[in-house]
Structure 1
């Protein structure tokens, strides 16, 4: 409806929502808890051959600025092979996103190594659909429970819904 990629649109709205919740900007660094002013994004990006790569993009509250950087990163990943960026190359003040656009879900769990210092939240989106005139986009959020709990995730969801309705 707005003439832009739906992926870019909801990813930006998710990043705005994430950056509105302090607990989702907390990270554990050298046994200290640090609140970052803002967090940036990372996402899996699919390729035409069925593979994917990891991306990193800077957050901007301004959609056009955000989208410009995101589109450059998408092009870079789609014109490359392999996974690309490793976790060691990413700043700790980022948040991971992935999308499973082929399926809806009611729950999702990421594989994890149970590292107690793993503190970067993960957000997964599913297949967008419309039922009975209502729009649905499945969202799964995983966060370190020592840094964020259900109240904070609910704040994210509430702000994400608000952003999508603007």
Structure 2
């Protein structure tokens, strides 16, 4: 059973920052970067795996390394940290030009997660419902993909966004240039949960995971 651990505000190094960006200056922010996915795509192609599930697993792996991207806040404003968070991701229905949102339990084993995600995507590709699963847990974070567009900036404007603490990620179209392939990657996060340092670390670690794909894609 997935649980969350209450944060001890009396000893939390982030207490002042959290209270400032939650109460005095409610603030979310987003950043868009370009990631090199050359080695990643080569590794996925060589094994016959699917690119999208591999992207989702890589992101979920880095997210679950760091507490700041697993923060939850209850109705009274008390923060806690989930033991694990699971990725929720979109699947496009080309006939209807609509999408469904599905979630998969995170597994540190890429092959196990990959097969689970592939089955979900196949099952719900023709879904007429936005949320076809009935068992979505609280501890999910969002990933969406826009493979038809290369972008240099992407922002979500969420009305109740100041009460949303788990990260949101958006993937863009691959671009080939000078023998390398890149992909735009957007991150949105509540400033009370994570600072620029934490987001930079996440991005840099994700780049490393993509670069080392031949070690985990199988």
Q: Does TM-score exceed 0.5, indicating one fold?
A: yes
- TM normalised by structure 2 equals 0.71
Off by >2 Å, runs of 4+ in structure 1: 88-92
Counterpart of 2:23? none
Structure number with greater CO (CA < 8 Å, separation at least 6) is: 2
Aligned to 1:3: 48
Matches of 1:98 and 1:136, distance apart in 2: 17
Higher gyration radius (CA): 2
Give the secondary structure class of the aligned counterpart of 1:160. helix
Find the counterpart in structure 1 of residue 108 from structure 2: 61
Given that residues 174 and 182 in structure 2 are in contact (C-alpha distance below 8 angstroms), is that contact kept between their aligned partners in structure 1?
A: yes
**SS at 1:9's partner residue?**
helix
Offset of 1:115 from its aligned partner? 4.2
Please report the RMSD computed on the Cα atoms of aligned residues, expressed in angstroms.
Answer: 1.8
Question: Where does structure 2 lack aligned partners over 5 or more consecutive residues?
Answer: 1-44, 213-218
Q: How does 1:1-166 map to 2 (within 5 A)?
A: 1=45, 2-30=47-75, 31-49=77-95, 50-85=97-132, 90-166=136-212
TM-score, normalising length from structure 1? 0.91
Deviations 1:40-90 (A, max 9, x none): 01011101312111111110111111112212221232132121259x963
